[in-house]
Amino acid sequence: MSPDQIFQLSNPLALIGWLALILSPLSPIWADRVAALAVPLLLSLAYSGLVLAHWSGAQGGFSSLPDVMLLFTQAPIALAGWLHYLAFDLFVGAWAVRTARAEKIPHLLVIPSLILTFLFGPAGFLAFSILRLIMSQRKTV
Amino acid sequence: MTPAFARPATLPASRLWADAPILTGIALLMALGCLPILSAAAFDTRLFQGDNIWLKPFKFHLALAIYTITLAYFARFMSEATRASRLWRNYLTVAAAAIVAEVVWIGGAAALGTASHFNTSSPLWSGLYALMGVSAVTLTSVSLVMGVSIWRNQSSGLDPALHLSITLGLILTFALTVIVAGTMSSGTGHFVGSPLTDARLPLFGWSREVGDLRAPHFLATHALHAVPLAGLIVTRLAPAQPIRLVWLAASGYAALVLAMFVQALLGLPLI
The 10s digit of each residue's pLDDT in B197-223 is 778 888 888 888 888 899 999 999 999
Decide if pLDDT at B18 tops 80. Answer: yes
Give the CA count within 13 Å in the CB-facing half-sphere of A116: 17
Quick one: closest CA in B to A104, which residue? B2
pLDDT at residue B14 in the model: 80
The C-alpha atoms of residue B226 and residue B177 are separated, in whole angstroms, by: 14
Check: CB of residue B180 under 8 Å from CB of residue B257: yes
Chain A residues touching residue B17 (CB < 8 angstroms)? 137-138, 140-141
Compute the nearest-CA separation of A141 from chain B (Å): 6
The answer to whether B17 contacts chain A (CB < 8 Å) is yes
Residue B8 to residue A141, Cβ atoms within 8 A: no
Identity of the residue in A98, A129, A140 whose CB atom sits nearest the CB atom of B17: A140
The answer to whether B24 contacts chain A (CB < 8 Å) is yes
What is chain A's alpha carbon radius of gyration, rounded to the nearest angstrom?
A: 17
List, for residues B140-198, the tens digit of each pLDDT value. Answer: 999 999 999 999 998 988 999 999 999 999 999 999 999 999 989 887 888 887 877 77
Identity of the residue in B5, B28, B35 whose CB atom sits nearest the CB atom of A137: B28
Residue segments in chain A with a per-residue pLDDT below the cut of 50:
none
The C-alpha atoms of residue B134 and residue B130 are separated, in whole angstroms, by: 7
pLDDT band at B1 (very low <50, low <70, confident <90, very high): very low
Q: What does A19-88 look like in DSSP terms, one character per residue?
A: HHHHTGGG-HHHHHIIIIIIHHHHHHHHHHHHHHHHTTT----SSSHHHHHHHTTSHHHHHHHHHHHHHH
Residues contacting A56, CB < 8 A, separation 6+: none
The C-alpha atoms of residue B181 and residue B253 are separated, in whole angstroms, by: 17
Quote the longest CA-to-CA distance of chain A: 58
The answer to whether A134 contacts chain B (CB < 8 Å) is yes
pTM exceeds 0.90, yes or no: no
Check: CB of residue A100 under 8 Å from CB of residue A112: no
Residues contacting B174, CB < 8 A, separation 6+: B140, B141, B143, B144, B147
Decide if pLDDT at B93 tops 90. Answer: yes
Decide if pLDDT at B11 tops 70. Answer: no
Check: CB of residue B24 under 8 Å from CB of residue B76: no
Task: Identify the weakest region by mean pLDDT among B9-13, B17-21, B38-42, B114-118.
Answer: B9-13
Element (H, E) at B52: strand B51-52
- Map residue B195 onto helix, strand or coil: coil
Element (H, E) at B192: strand B191-192
Residue A102 to residue B17, Cβ atoms within 8 A: no
Residue A141 to residue B32, Cβ atoms within 8 A: no
pLDDT band at B10 (very low <50, low <70, confident <90, very high): low
Average pLDDT over residues B90-113: 96
Pairing of strands B191-192, B211-212: antiparallel
